[in-house]
Amino acid sequence: MKFLTIYRASFYLMLTFATLVLSIDATDDNRFAMLYPVVVALASVAAFLTVDRDPKFGLSRTAASVLALISGGLSVAEYRYDNTLLLLSAAHWLVYLQLVKMFLPKTVEDDWFLFLLGLVQVLVGGVMSQSDKVGIALFSWALMALWVLILFALHREALRMKVAPMAETARARGDRAEPYRGLIDVPFIVSTARVAATTLALGGLIFLAMPRRTSMGSSQSSGALGRHLTGFDDEIQLGQLGEILENDTPVMSVELLDNEGSRIVPGQDDESRWRGVSMDRYERGRWFRPKFKANGYSLGLTDRWRESRVVRQQIKLEPTDSPVLFGLRPILDADAPDKRFLPELNEADGTLFRNSTLAVSFDYSVDSADRADLPQPGEAYPSVGYLSRLVSIPDDLKARLRPIALDQVRGIDEGDLKGRTAALERYLKDSGEFRYSLEQDTGDPNLDPVEDFLINRKTGHCEYFASALALLLRSIDIPCRIINGFKGGDYNAMARITTVRQKHAHSWVEALVGRTQAQDPAPDWITLDPTPSAERNASISRVGGMASHFYQVTDFVRFVWIFYIVGFNSERQDRFLYAPIRALIKEAQRGFSIMGDSIKGWFHFPSVESFFSLRGFLVSFGALLVLVGVINLVAWCFRRLMGRFAGKKENDPTGMAGVQFYRRLMQLLAEYGLERPAAETPREFARRSAIFLAGHGSGTESVADVPPLVVDAFYQIRFGERTLREDDLEHITSRLDALDARIHPQKA
């Protein structure tokens, strides 16, 4: 395949990827967004087959200018149609310009311009969205860009050296115009891959080392809301949670850290409950969230907890349309890098929330006590009104459920609320009467769904179990509320994070059993989870199909993307990069100080007598050796520097003269009949000539010393880099004249 063909095809593919980065996550804003990369790809093929093969098929510059103006008008029209999409409209103009440019005959400058257009599209794409889809497209573009840059450099070099004519002449010349024949072979692919890997690694390092702020900017999306998270609305239809239980889309990624910042590895049966919303009112198969005013309680890790064991959760929440945040209860502190959206705690129901519902991922951290049974700091004891709602249950339903509940708590003292709640929990969870299932069939449609679950169906998912327990508790006047959140998650051993997916959604119950016994009495809420864990876990493991087998890899990639690329802030930078470097330096310092101490010991001589020992000899010998080395090094450097200052002795007359003398000698001896064969060195030849001259018997004995003399001088100048003194030069000249006179007596 021809170089130009490969280059051009790669270039167009890279441009298509650039447009893909721009469009891949813009379908919410513009439903035709995904058409743009398709159009670019088609246009690439068309341009490849026309203008790149023969420039006469290309647009004229005037036509291109007119089309560029029209495309500007199109972008303005798009903006006027929806004025929230200024950035996207401007980016689409880049795509139009790119399309126009593709159909022009291309010079090197045009290729750079196209490359730049692609780069700007990528940047706009990155500004508009930071999703992992954009990441994959961006990475593909980066790889293609590297490949194209390599080919582009070769193309430029060929053009510069005039061995790769442009398309029209290339076609006419055929193979002769192929500058890099046989370029694409296995070694080239391998070395290119190596270059790409090196470049990406270096680029990655530079990216990691760039200065960061605590809070990184987020993408500039159009302001649309994020993904709807079923089960976390103000009003929830019983069974609704089942929709997301069969969905394995990630909701959040969590890093668990202890007080020292070390990672905590959750156990096999991770029972962490990421508390979300609470619901207090039940009516005909629907649960309602309490209508509190958002009276936020600013959390802060009090001194009381500072010394305790704390589980820190670094959470990256995917874009959702709900202000609810998740965390392990009891929540001691919560923070976010973006101080505009600090998490707050609803002191009435203990819900954590934020004042933002923008469709961007949200970083926050939660500090929780390592014991789930501890009270939630900052949560107020329920008011009378709230308390009444916590025990409210339709009378008819209460009448029917109460006997069931009483049957289970028989023998337990009325005042032993914990005992009674535990009994009811056991009834649902461990009695074996109830089975966990995501199938939602109805036994008797005339009955309340919870009653139907308890009496007829006896199968359902966590929402039914939790609702059943809550209503049973209320039927015997124990205040309680339903909590919707997530339980467990997929722990990734490579990334050491937990990915919580929608399938991990869970409902459980919090029952109020009084006040805590602490100095500062708080409501004593206990957590009850009546759902059979084993069956639930089995059900979760079935969700996801084949893809779930690759979660270790995909979650790791996702983790890198969200924590170390999109969400890489100064805190992570410090933890990932600078802290290890600091530790390394400290370690090195310690090592050097140990080495220094041991070396010092060698040089320590308490008395003069102690110096005269084997150690003293070795030390003094070593020191002298180093001294000599240093002196030599300094002298060498000095000579080199002086040589540099003095400049090259290119026109040194003595040097040139040495060569001239040597030539003259060779010439004279040649005239005398002595020629140096190639295998003989000048010195050997001089020796042989001297013998000839000395033994000739025709008066040349007196000049037999000339050849060695001249060759010695020649060696000194040529290889010894020396210069001859003036009197030496004169001497050699006179001796050569004498030789000349002897060889050519008639001349004399």
Partner 1 sequence: MSEDRSPLRRFARWVVWSLWPNQRLRWTREGVIYFCVWVGLLLTGLYQQINLILLVAGLAAGPMVGSIFVSAAMLRKLRISRRVPSYVFSGTPLSIDYSLDNDRRWSAALALILTDDMIPIDRAVSGPTGLTTLAFFPRVAARSRARVRWQGISPRRGQYRFRMLELVTRSPFGLLERRVAIGDPAQLTVYPEIGQLTRRWKFIQREASETRRGSRHDLSTQQQEYHGLRDYRPGDSPRWIHWRTSARRGQPMVKEFEQQHEQDLAILLDPWLPRTKISPERREALEDAIKFVATICFETCRHPGRRLLLGWTGAVPGVRQGPASVKLLHELLEQLATLRPSSEGSLASLLDVVPPSTLRESYLIVVSTRPINLMEEAERSTRLSATALRGLLGRVTVLDASKGDLRDLIKFDRTNGMAKMGRGPATDREEASLALADGPAGRPEDGEANP
Residue 637 interacts with partner 1 (CB under 8 A): yes or no? no
Give the shortest CB-684-to-partner 1 separation in angstroms: 11
* Both structure tokens of 632: 């030599």
Size of the site for partner 1 (CB under 8 A): 74
Which residues of 387-519 form beta strands (DSSP E)? 435-436, 459-460, 480-487, 490-492, 497-501, 505-515
Return the number of the residue (192 or 440) whose C-beta is nearest partner 1. 192
The minimum distance between CB 680 and partner 1, in angstroms, equals: 8
CB neighbours of residue 444 within 10 Å? 12
CB 530 within 8 A of CB 509: yes
- Is residue 187 near partner 1 by the rule CB under 8 A? yes
Residue from the set 39, 68, 90, 216 that interacts with partner 1 by CB under 8 A:
216
- Which of 650, 673, 697, 698 is close enough to bind partner 1 by CB under 8 A? 650
Task: Read off the tokens for 280.
Answer: 């207090």
Q: How many CB atoms lie within 10 A of CB 392?
A: 15
Asked whether 483 and 509 are in contact (CB, 8 A), the reply is: yes
Give 127 or 522: the residue with its C-beta nearer to partner 1.
Answer: 127
Which of positions 219-278 make contact with partner 1 (CB under 8 A)? 219
CB atoms inside a 10 Å sphere around CB 500? 25
Contact code string over 98-117 relative to partner 1, x by CB under 8 A:
--------------x---x-
Q: Which of 34, 39, 183, 729 binds partner 1 (CB under 8 A)?
A: 183
Site string for partner 1, 389-428 (x = CB under 8 A): ----------------------------------------
Q: Is 591 exposed, middle or buried (0-12, 13-18, 19+ CB in 10 A)?
A: exposed
Half-sphere exposure of 128 (CA within 13 A, CB side): 33
| Position 40 contacts partner 1 (CB under 8 A) | no
If one asks whether residue 217 binds partner 1 (CB under 8 A), the answer comes out as yes
Our finding on whether 748 is near partner 1 (CB under 8 A) is no
DSSP state of 453: I
Strand partners, 279: 482
Output the smallest distance, CB 119 to partner 1, in A: 7
Contacting partner 1 within 121-160 (CB under 8 A): 122-123, 126-127, 130, 134, 138, 142, 146, 149-150, 152-154, 156-158
> Is residue 215 packed enough to be buried (19+ CB in 10 Å), middle (13-18) or exposed (0-12)?
middle
Q: Which two tokens stand for residue 435?
A: 């089975």
Give me the least distance between CB of 98 and partner 1, in Å please. Answer: 17
Backbone Cα Rg of the chain: 43
**Cβ at position 336, least distance to partner 1 in Å:** 15
Stretch that binds partner 1, among 245-253, 490-498, 550-558, 560-568 (CB under 8 A): 560-568
Smallest separation, CB 161 to partner 1 (Å)? 4
Question: Do residues 509 and 466 touch, judged by C-beta distance below 8 A?
Answer: yes
DSSP, collapsed to helix, strand or coil, labels residue 30 as coil
CA 717 – CA 731 distance, rounded (Å): 16
Beta-strand pair 459-460/435-436: parallel
Residue 198 binding partner 1, by CB under 8 A: yes
Examine residue 190 and tell whether it contacts partner 1 (CB under 8 A).
Answer: yes
- Dig out the tokens for 491 from the structure: 């722990």
Site string for partner 1, 678-707 (x = CB under 8 A): x--xx-------------------------
With CB under 8 A as the contact rule, which of the stretches 82-90, 307-315, 452-460, 561-569 interacts with partner 1?
A: 561-569
Report the 3 state secondary structure along 638-694.
Answer: HHHHHHHHHCCCCCCHHHHHHHHHHHHHHHHHHHHCCCCCCCCCHHHHHHHHHHHHH
Residues 703-732 that bind partner 1 (CB under 8 A): 715, 718-719
Distance CA 119, CA 145 (A): 9
CB 740 → partner 1: shortest distance, Å? Answer: 13
Segment contacting partner 1 by CB under 8 A, of 118-126, 317-325, 371-379, 581-589: 118-126
Our CB check for partner 1 shows the closer of 146 and 478 to be: 146
Q: Which of 173, 213, 306, 725 binds partner 1 (CB under 8 A)?
A: 213
Q: Is residue 500 within 8 Å of residue 299, measured between CB atoms?
A: no
Min separation Cβ 649 and partner 1, Å:
13
